[in-house]
Amino acid sequence: MRLIIFSGLLCLVLINPLAAQLVTGTVRAVGSGEALFGATIYHPATSSGTTTNEYGDFTFDMVGEAVLIISMLGYHSDTIKGAQNAGAMNVELQVAASALTTIEVTASGRRRDISVPNGLTRLSLQQVERQPVLLGEKDIFKALQLLPGVGNPREGFGGLYVRGGTPDQNLVLLDGAPVYNAEHLFGFLSVFNTDALKSVDLYRGGFPARFGGRVGSVLDVRMREGSRTKWQGSGGIGVLTSRLTLEGPVGKSKNIGVLISGRRTYLDLLFNLISGPAEKNILNFSDFNAKVNVRLGKRDHFYLSTYTGRDNYGSATTRNGKTNKDAFNWGNRTLTARWNHKVSERAFLNLTGIVSGFDFRVRNEETVRDTVYALAYQSRINDLGLKADLDWYLSRRHSARFGLAAYRHTFDLGTVARTVAEEADQVSGQKTNTTELAMYAEDEFTPGERWNVRYGLRFTTFRPDDGSEAFTSLEPRLNVGYRINSRTSLKLSYGYASQFLHLLSNSGPGLPTSLWVPATKDIAPQRGGQFALGINSVSHNDYWRYEANVYYRRTKQLIGYDNGATFLLLDVLNSPTGLDRLDILDNITDGDGRAYGFELAVNYQKNRLAVNFAYTLARAEQRLRGVDDFTYFPANHDRRHDLNINGSYELGSSLTLSWAWTFGSGVPITLPLGTYTSPDLPGTRSTLFELDVFASRNNSRMPAIHRLDLGLRWRRTPRWGEAFWEFGLYNAYARANPFFLEVRTNEAGERAVYQQAVFPAVPSISYSFKF
């Protein structure tokens, strides 16, 4: 009923015809012809504007002077005069040679755009290329961690903890397909190869109704389309990985463009060089991206993109005729087919088919005299989805979007197999299928020059096939922008969402033993809301930009780790008799979470210098049934102060110095207060256990971390294109930042807390090129 009332209200509001000149067009990049998503079309006469959709298209009702300013992060802006006579415009923007842009979406100066949703950040991929990072491996997750409100409790690793949320609460999309484990190398790098990407949008909160299924944030990653005009490429050779991307037209019609990109590590080659012949290590990951875009006429476009990536880790040792093999491997795969149809000058239709999957396997194998004893553990999730989205530009005041989506999730949990003498013995397995249906409606309403209101509603049902009751969710979304004056605006957002998939994993670094499981009657869906209020401002000379936000979020039914929970299953693997009783759900518990904080971003940019300052004051807490009497305790990633100061300076036409200084107060850790001994049974003297006394979970904090990273980029311009030598120094002043703490015996024979640091000052060199 609420849905019907909402639809009625929406229709009433949308009927608002105005006599205006309709301007339509497409914004593309010069050279590659890449459609630019999110380019700003600004109409100075009315201080209004719009942005391009995912395919670079825009529609705008223009009243007054026919001048439009087209701009996009990382590109030179363009001013179009006489736009009312231009018909369907094809605007091409030149890539800015000097990409000294901030990584914040801040429609600059007088063009400040209140229509950018509160909490949305669009990464500048040029800026990502310049940032100094560990071993010179550029990564969008590392760049996102420099933003206010985005943190990471472990140094050098890439998990995204957005506004007090955990990585499983982030919806990570690659060309619209969910990526279930977006990390390589136990979280050291993300699965996204920067060379193959077109745009990276992070919604820290208040995301539009078109997105759903996660209670935290949305990371919307788009792959490059593949140039339809000329062949070009890019690549690089680094300490850890090498990569190559090629794109270009197929055929002479220039209607088909393709992109192929690959990346691989060679860590295992290095490891095997230093290990002996009796030991062989596997330690690698690889990524492959491909995309085809086909222009089917003036109104139709077809896209097919795929990603597949896999991590393989393991070791094999042979001693005394016995061979032991241990292996972890996991991988993601996505396939997106999309048909984009221009229904009219005001309406765009997208039909999208999605296939996505993630699986991991853990295998322990022992071979003695040709007899194999093996234990394997694996988990899979596969998605099949179909989506329809209609963008409907109704008037200068209303731009609506409607959509339907259907997903089929298939879960294959915890299959354990024992193999003796090549005979497989399937011990246990649990397969579950679920159907998820969603519909949404959004409207961007511009009641006047000072106001911009985005509101929407999403309705989702989630039904397991086992006959259990379906879950439903009605999710309102609101984003309001108010321009106080030409330089300052206020923004407010609220969003409510439900999450029907839970990620079960332990609190260690991104281990592959993470299980995605559906909500059931035993594990209800997570539900959460977030409220945020922000203010943006820009200085009179446009050099300084400021953004401040406060947020508060609550989450119900979040999944937590029970006392002593571990998902490594070492004990089970070592004790086959324990397999029958393995119950994953016994390891988890549920509860609530709350997080609130203050974010401040200050950006300075003038001539050759760019500096970004980001500070977060935050608190994230949880309470779990069965832990600490269901009282709130600090979450594992609760970092009170997080400060990042980064930037770059062009020393000349070919040299750029970049830096990033990071400070973070200590994250919580559970340390024992006391210890006592206990016999196995009272009165016995054979075994005496030492047991730790903990006051509460996360009762202590690690020391603070701080670090300076430096990078020097030397640009060369050979005849065939551009080349870059990059020299990096991670942790330049060799600060020993704690990676984990442990209690152990010191030289005096006393128990003491020790911190273990991982990364000293690490120099790096890499080479990259574009042609």
Partner 1 sequence: MRPVFFLLLILSCCACENFAGRELTELNNDYAPELVLFSLPNPQDSLLVVDLRRSISSLGGRPDGQGFRQQIPDATVSISDGSVDYPLRFADFDPVSGYYLRLDSLDRALLRPGESYVISAEYAGERVQAEFAIPLDSLPVDAAAFAFETETQNGFTDLWLNASIPNLPGDDFYLVTVNRDTRPASGRRREEIADFLRGRDELGDSLYLARIELFEFNTTTVRICAIDPLAFEYLDARATAIANQENIFAEPTLLPTNVENGRGFVGGLNCQAYVFVR
| CB 142 to partner 1: min, Å | 21
Q: Which of 65, 449, 466, 742 binds partner 1 (CB under 8 A)?
A: 742
Q: Which of 44, 109, 476, 508 binds partner 1 (CB under 8 A)?
A: 508
Pick between residue 546 and residue 694 the one whose CB is nearest to partner 1. 694
Residues 539-578 that bind partner 1 (CB under 8 A): 561-568, 570-571, 577
| CB 185 to partner 1: min, Å | 16
Measured torsion, CA atoms of residues 669, 671, 673, 675, in degrees rounded to the nearest 10: 160
User: What's the number of CA atoms in the CB half-sphere (13 Å) around residue 730?
Assistant: 19
| CB 449 to partner 1: min, Å | 46
Residues 190-219 that bind partner 1 (CB under 8 A): none
| CB 582 to partner 1: min, Å | 13
Q: Which of 97, 420, 688, 765 binds partner 1 (CB under 8 A)?
A: 688
Q: What is the gyration radius of the CA atoms in the chain, in angstroms?
A: 27
- Hey, which bits of 107-149 come out as E strands? 120-122
Q: Which of 22, 600, 734, 771 binds partner 1 (CB under 8 A)?
A: 734
Pick between residue 76 and residue 751 the one whose CB is nearest to partner 1. 751
User: What's the number of CA atoms in the CB half-sphere (13 Å) around residue 264?
Assistant: 6
| CB 53 to partner 1: min, Å | 44
For position 627 contacting partner 1 by CB under 8 A, the verdict is yes
Pick between residue 259 and residue 667 the one whose CB is nearest to partner 1. 667
CB distance 246 to 260 below 8 Å: yes
For position 735 contacting partner 1 by CB under 8 A, the verdict is yes
For position 756 contacting partner 1 by CB under 8 A, the verdict is yes
Cα separation, 514 vs 69, whole angstroms: 47
Where residue 540 falls (left for φ over 0; alpha for ψ -120 to 50; beta otherwise) is alpha
CB distance 747 to 217 below 8 Å: no
| CB 561 to partner 1: min, Å | 4
Pick between residue 600 and residue 671 the one whose CB is nearest to partner 1. 671
Q: Which of 607, 746, 763, 765 binds partner 1 (CB under 8 A)?
A: 746
**Bridge partners of 357?**
333, 382
- Amino acid code (one letter) for 260: I
| CB 228 to partner 1: min, Å | 46
**Window contacting partner 1 (CB under 8 A); options: 241-249, 332-340, 541-549, 743-751:** 743-751
Cα separation, 740 vs 558, whole angstroms: 25
For position 275 contacting partner 1 by CB under 8 A, the verdict is no
For position 750 contacting partner 1 by CB under 8 A, the verdict is yes
Residues 640-679 that bind partner 1 (CB under 8 A): 670-679
Tokens of 492: 């407010």
Give the torsion sign (CA, 658, 37, 310, 517). positive
Residues 694-723 that bind partner 1 (CB under 8 A): 694, 696-697, 700, 703, 708
Cα separation, 334 vs 329, whole angstroms: 17
- Amino acid code (one letter) for 646: N
User: Tokens 């807390």 map to which residue?
Assistant: 753
Q: Is 600 exposed, middle or buried (0-12, 13-18, 19+ CB in 10 A)?
A: middle
Cα separation, 590 vs 561, whole angstroms: 8
Residue 566's alpha-carbon distances to 165, 418, 507, 570, 584, in angstroms, are 21, 21, 9, 9, 10
Residues 571-610 that bind partner 1 (CB under 8 A): 571, 577, 580
Pick between residue 490 and residue 671 the one whose CB is nearest to partner 1. 671
CB distance 215 to 169 below 8 Å: yes
Q: Which of 344, 404, 680, 716 binds partner 1 (CB under 8 A)?
A: 680
Cα(first)–Cα(last) distance of the chain, in Å?
58
CB distance 673 to 121 below 8 Å: no
Residues 136-165 that bind partner 1 (CB under 8 A): none
Task: Return the number of other C-beta atoms located less than 10 Å from residue 432's C-beta.
Answer: 16
How many residues interact with partner 1 (rule CB under 8 A)? 71
Q: Which of 82, 251, 683, 718 binds partner 1 (CB under 8 A)?
A: 683
Pick between residue 64 and residue 679 the one whose CB is nearest to partner 1. 679
**Window contacting partner 1 (CB under 8 A); options: 149-157, 265-273, 395-403, 683-691:** 683-691
Contacts of 101 (CB under 8 A, 6+ apart): 73, 74, 124, 126, 127, 605, 610
| CB 90 to partner 1: min, Å | 47
**Window contacting partner 1 (CB under 8 A); options: 274-282, 410-418, 435-443, 753-761:** 753-761
